[in-house]
């Protein structure tokens, strides 16, 4: 008795999709959703209250007209400023990850160095403000704020991009089966077939942060000595995909014909 699937109903193989780097911006989308919800519930009211708060009024001793007190430090809402700062910091880190590659050997060192420089600068500005007056004044003037509409617009724009990426992935992907490798592409379901008899697979983790975000990496498929290597960037869960393909190709699909068909 054979457990091999029927040739009329082939089993679905391992699906490989190459995604663009925009998918790694999803942490900024999550922070934007949280910030938008906060601003809608309490942040917008805090901003409006700060913007329309009356200035302090001082009455001169000689009975002249009262004059508003001059205050060099402008008031600002702490909550909206923290929400905007968290969003901008997350977005900046996401853009750095998508712009540069951080190999496994140097990423930890670079991250530790950047964190040390950032914390050292903030401590220096806090406890020694007269040492770097320009940087201190610049930090004190930075109070970024945005209302809920801004965050929702960002989420909607990124959501539309992600929908486009998802739709495109349904029209351009690779499928590895036991005996062949298929390339599905085009709106008319164009199909290319490659044998897997001499298929060689190479896995590369070029960026440790991209691997941490989506377990992604580069997969190189070599169909044969006469074929051009196929490079797939940003394959999600690449360790799991490699394990599935290795297990799939290590077993040979054998079908035993019924006795009526045997000679």
The contacts found for 146-151 with CB under 8 angstroms, 24 or more apart, are 146/35, 146/39, 146/80, 146/83, 146/84, 146/87, 147/39, 147/43, 147/44, 147/47, 148/36, 148/37, 148/39, 148/40, 148/43, 148/44, 151/32, 151/33, 151/35, 151/36, 151/39, 151/87
Give the residue extent of every domain in the chain.
14-20+167-252, 25-52+77-161
Tell me what pLDDT residue 151 has: 95
As beta bridge partners, residue 68 has 57
Tell me what pLDDT residue 65 has: 52
Please state, in angstroms and rounded to a whole number, the distance separating the CA atoms of residues 121 and 82.
19
- Mean pLDDT by runs of 10 across the 263 residues of the chain is 48 86 95 93 67 51 50 59 90 88 70 73 69 62 83 96 94 89 84 85 88 92 84 93 87 56 50
Tell me what pLDDT residue 72 has: 41
Distances (CA, A) of 230 to 20, 78, 139, 222: 16, 51, 49, 6
- Closest among 8, 24, 38, 16 to 210, alpha carbons compared: 24
Is the distance from CB of 75 to CB of 111 less than 8 angstroms?
no
Mode of pairing for the β-strands spanning 200-204 and 14-16 = unpaired
| Total residues found in the chain within this entry | 263
For the entire predicted model, the pTM comes to 0.71
Please state, in angstroms and rounded to a whole number, the distance separating the CA atoms of residues 80 and 46.
8
Instruction: Record the tokens describing residue 78, joined without a space.
Output: 């702490």
Task: Return the number of other C-beta atoms located less than 10 Å from residue 169's C-beta.
Answer: 14
Tell me what pLDDT residue 129 has: 66
Tell me what pLDDT residue 102 has: 77
Task: Please name the fold of domain 14-20+167-252.
Answer: PH-domain like (2.30.29)
Tell me what pLDDT residue 199 has: 85
- The DSSP letter of residue 112 is H
**Cβ-count burial 106-120 (b if 16+ within 10 Å, e if not):** ebeeeeeeeeeeeee
């Amino acid at each position: 008795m054979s457990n091999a699937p029927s040739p009329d109903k082939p089993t679905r193989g391992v699906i490989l999709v190459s995604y663009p780097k925009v998918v790694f911006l999803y942490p900024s989308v999550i922070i934007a959703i949280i910030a938008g919800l906060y601003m809608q519930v309490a942040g917008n009211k805090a901003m409006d209250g700060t913007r329309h708060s009356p200035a302090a009024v001082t009455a001169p001793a000689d009975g002249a007209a009262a004059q508003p007190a001059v205050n060099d430090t402008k008031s600002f809402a702490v909550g909206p400023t923290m929400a905007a700062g968290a969003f901008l910091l997350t977005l900046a880190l996401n853009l750095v990850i998508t712009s540069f590659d951080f190999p496994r050997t140097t990423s930890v060192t670079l991250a530790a160095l950047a964190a040390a420089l950032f914390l050292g600068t903030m401590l220096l500005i806090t406890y020694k403000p007269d040492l770097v007056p320009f940087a201190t004044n610049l930090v004190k003037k930075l109070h970024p704020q945005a209302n809920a509409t801004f965050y929702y617009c960002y989420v909607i724009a990124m959501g539309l991009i992600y929908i486009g990426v998802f739709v495109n992935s349904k029209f351009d992907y690779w499928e590895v089966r036991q005996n062949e490798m298929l390339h599905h592409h085009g709106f008319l379901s164009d199909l290319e077939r490659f044998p897997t008899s001499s298929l060689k697979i190479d896995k590369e983790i070029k960026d440790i942060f991209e691997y941490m975000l989506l377990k992604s990496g580069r997969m190189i498929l070599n169909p044969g000595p006469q074929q051009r290597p196929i490079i797939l960037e940003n394959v999600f869960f690449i360790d799991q995909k490699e394990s599935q393909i290795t297990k799939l190709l290590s077993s040979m699909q054998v079908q035993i014909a019924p006795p009526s068909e045997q000679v």
